[in-house]
Structure 1
Amino acid sequence: MNNRKTLLSKSGFNLVQVDLLDGHDNAIRVSYEVVDPDEDAIGRFGSLSEAKNFINMLCHLNFLEHEQENPICKGE
């Protein structure tokens, strides 16, 4: 059985802690997923720091994509 808990929401992405539980509700393994706005897992990680780095990278890429779509003209 899995227990899922959202730890962080950022720019539409969620960082979810997934605990694999034994029959007595004891965690036997902890992993972390980054899920998109449609709640599809787009990354699974064994450490929280790796998952945080991934979600930060996605947010940065999302920012760069929007910046290219809507460039701000400087000097006008």
Structure 2
Amino acid sequence: MFSESPSVKKLYERLSHKIKVVSQNIDDKVQSAITDRVSAPSDNLNPPTYLDEMLILQTLKTIESKAKDQIEQSDKSWS
């Protein structure tokens, strides 16, 4: 750690926890999207398309953006 002060330790622990929560939420949503795609009716005539991949990427970017916004709002509440 950078400092031994209690306030820095507390802030570090809080931010570490938030990062873990956000990472877990992203992992859960990605897994859910994969499960939905796998469980959807499929056949060799309908393989995943470029548009499917773009939709997944856009969803991940949206999740990432929302996570960053939440972290920034949390940071503002600490200042």
**Same fold judged by TM-score > 0.5?**
no
TM band (smaller chain): 0.3 to 0.5
Q: Which has the higher helix share?
A: 2
TM-score normalized by the length of structure 1: 0.42
TM-score normalized by the length of structure 2: 0.40
Q: Which has the higher strand share?
A: 1
Q: Report 1 or 2 for greater relative contact order, CA contacts < 8 Å, sequence distance ≥ 6.
A: 2
Structure number with bigger Rg: 2
